[in-house]
Amino acid sequence: MSITLSNLPYDKNALEPHVSAETLSYHYDKHHRGYVDKLKMLIKDTPFEKLTLEEIINKARKEARVDILNNAAQAWNHAFFWESMSPNGGTGPQAQIKAMIEFEYRDVDDFKREFAEAALSLFGSGWVWLVLDRTRLRIITTGNADSPVGTHLDPLLTLDVWEHAYYLDYRNERKQYVETFLDKLINWTFAASNLVDLGSSRAA
């Protein structure tokens, strides 16, 4: 199994003015590519080399291989993050996921407030996730490179709140970055498709 750098699902200028082409160039070509390249170096000629990215994360977590885990999780997290944004994002969730949000958070605006609070309360670097916890939605945060992959939590969406994700465009204004993601970029179609895929896999 060859570990490769996932393609961006849009051009680097497609998210402007909300995320600049300069930010995406640094974030994708330097940071994401760096995690993939370092991971390939770490697993070369080891039992990890023939595994999928998800299998590498699970095995590294069990064996406390922090170096491999960090780079594998960051490679996975970033690929998932690109899909969590869309040039046509922020239009509102589809019916099924909207109903689930309203069950947990009353309405979409309350969901956005709780998601933003989670992002702003996360000290340092990390990620904010909308996950499916068996049958219910939850907002969780993970520090640094941590990821829900390999746990009982199934990710539907994520937001990268490492400073390199937003500093060129927003400087230290994480709040503005988070609100822009929720209002203009969040890819509800991607979240809905993940929910459908989970339902299909559990029914199989």
Write out pLDDT tens, residues 71-120. 999 999 999 999 999 999 999 999 999 999 999 999 999 999 999 999 99
Does residue 179 lie in a domain region?
Answer: yes
Domain co-membership, 71 together with 117:
no
Domain co-membership, 161 together with 100:
yes
Give the domain extent around 74.
21-83
* Alpha-carbon torsion angle 176, 27, 126, 66, nearest 10: 180
| Stretch 118-146: mean pLDDT | 97
Does residue 15 lie in a domain region?
Answer: no
Helix spans in the chain (H): 21-24, 33-43, 53-62, 66-83, 95-105, 108-121, 167-170, 174-180, 188-203
Domain co-membership, 121 together with 50:
no
Does residue 90 lie in a domain region?
Answer: no
Residue 200: band (very low, low, confident or very high) from pLDDT cuts 50, 70, 90: low
Does residue 62 lie in a domain region?
Answer: yes
Does residue 181 register a pLDDT over 60?
A: yes
The CATH number covering residue 61 comes to 1.10.287.990
pLDDT digit string, tens, across residues 11-45: 999 999 999 999 999 999 999 999 999 999 999 99
Provide the mean pLDDT of the chain.
Answer: 95
Amino acid at the residue 169: D
The CATH number covering residue 139 comes to 3.55.40.20
Does residue 201 register a pLDDT over 80?
A: no
Does residue 1 register a pLDDT over 90?
A: no
Domain co-membership, 109 together with 191:
yes
Domain co-membership, 79 together with 105:
no
